[in-house]
Amino acid sequence: MSNLPERGPAAKLAREIDPARLERALKRLPFLEREAFLRKTRDRLSYAEIGAAFGLSPEGAESRVVTALIKLDVHLQLIDRPWWRLW
């Protein structure tokens, strides 16, 4: 069973990107950031609900989701890219 979101903007992104690439990028995220991102995009929870699940404030939960988005963007750009092309 996939961890990818099924609807919303994240689902659109998931359809446009190779699912295997997106799964690899998600696996590279730290647990809390990955779970906060998935609960926001896949489960459509509010930041308050995510925060309550992890003992964070709503702002802290939002910060984890935003950090996950930034890291996913970087990971998706770097996956399958030779190390010498990073400069």
pLDDT: which is higher, 52 or 11: 52
Question: Phi and psi of 30, rounded to 5°?
Answer: -60, 155
Label residue 17 by pLDDT band (50, 70, 90): confident
Q: What gap in Å lies between CA 42 and CA 59, rounded to an integer?
A: 19
Distance CA 24, CA 12 (A): 17
Confidence at residue 64, expressed as pLDDT on a 0 to 100 scale: 98
Q: How many CB atoms lie within 10 A of CB 75?
A: 18
Question: Is 9 a residue whose pLDDT tops 90?
Answer: no
Question: Among residues of the chain, what percentage have pLDDT more than 70?
Answer: 71
pLDDT digits 0-9 by tens, 28-41? 999 999 999 999 98
Taking the C-alpha atoms of residue 8 and residue 30, their distance in angstroms, rounded to an integer, is: 23
**Range from 8-12, 42-46, 54-58, 82-86 that averages highest in pLDDT:** 54-58
Structure tokens at 53: 């699940």
Q: Write the CA distances from 41 to 31, 66, 84, integer angstroms.
A: 15, 12, 33
Structural domains of the chain in order of their starting residue, each with its CATH number: 9-85 (1.10.10.10)
